[in-house]
Structure 1
Amino acid sequence: MTTERYFEDYEPGETRMSTGRTITEADIVLHAGQTGDFYPHHMDAAWCATQPFKQRIAHGTLVFSVGIGMAADVINPHSMSYGYDRLRFINPVFIGDTIRVRSTIAEKRDHKRPDQGLVIEQIEVLKQDDSLALICQHIHIVTRRPRQS
């Protein structure tokens, strides 16, 4: 979906929720192959059975990338990702867990370029039981509404 929103159109407190997506073994194997992260916490079911969680854990970077993709449901030609801050992996995601993403506009602030502003979006990746798996801030640089002459 495409929508045109300028900096002035965002309101702190706005929230949206994605639909769910189940993390599969194939997701974990593919992510390991793409990143080279074959750490046993993700790949070795027998070893994981001897550890506190008793099962394989999805890569934090997998949960992050899937979650951000799920949150990117709107294309805004006046906004561009400026980066991410305060990324934390709160609870593990396991094979078979279904995640969804709550995105909340947390803050707006000026940018050094007077024709743009920063919109800070709080991203929360939730598991099927509503426990928090991941949290971060997504920073968007957004064009200000053109002045009428």
Structure 2
Amino acid sequence: MFFKSTFFEEYTIGEKRVTLGRTITETDFVVHAGHTGDFFPHHMDAEWCKTQPFQQRIAHGTMIFSIGIGLTASEINPEALSKGYDRLRFIKPVFIGDTIHSEGTITVKEDSKKPEYGNVTEHVEIINQHGEIVQVCDHILLVKKQATA
């Protein structure tokens, strides 16, 4: 489940981790809507959604991103900082009752502008209980080099 890597030199292209699952609930929808102010009917109005193509409420994309990335936050690496996320895509809808998990694979290692650090990119796929990818993104980390520790 965890990367064994701490310092830049220890990360390996192709190294992969898989998280535990998390079932999405109606409470998740309500809490996320309250936090963000996104009360659009696509997420909150079950009767209106019955008239739409998916026939049911769909999860906020930002909520699935938050939960999916949160699942990967299972350990603290004191030698790495998150620089952010690139290429976030919402591939398929997620519904109340779906269970998601995340899979992260190291895809890029490169030097940073700061010589004591390197950049590491983890490609993250959020996957539902049917094995379908529902979201993807690239997590970019700034990781301390061992030689400078």
- Structure 1 length-normalised TM: 0.95
Give structure 1 regions of 4+ aligned residues with deviation exceeding 4 angstroms. Answer: none
The number of residues matched between the two structures is: 148
Give 1:80's aligned amino acid.
L
Q: 1:35-61 deviations in whole A, cap 9, x for unaligned?
A: 000011000000100000000001000
Contact 1:4 1:77 in 2 (8 A): no
Which residue is equivalent to 1:125?
A: 126
CA shift, 1:29, in A, is: 0.4
Which residue is equivalent to 1:6?
A: 7
1-side partners of 2:8 and 2:148: how far apart? 13
Which residue is equivalent to 1:102?
A: 103
Q: Which sections of structure 1, spanning at least 5 residues, go unmatched?
A: none
1:86 aligns with 2:69: no
Contact 1:17 1:102 in 2 (8 A): yes
Which residue is equivalent to 2:137?
A: 136
Q: 1:12-47 deviations in whole A, cap 9, x for unaligned?
A: 100110011000000000000000000110000001
2-side partners of 1:74 and 1:141: how far apart? 16
CA shift, 1:4, in A, is: 6.6
Q: 1:71-100 deviations in whole A, cap 9, x for unaligned?
A: 111210000100000000000000000000
Q: Which sections of structure 2, spanning at least 5 residues, go unmatched?
A: none
2-side partners of 1:147 and 1:69: how far apart? 29
Give 1:36's aligned amino acid.
G
- Partner SS state of residue 146, structure 1: helix
Determine what percentage of the aligned residue pairs are the same residue: 55
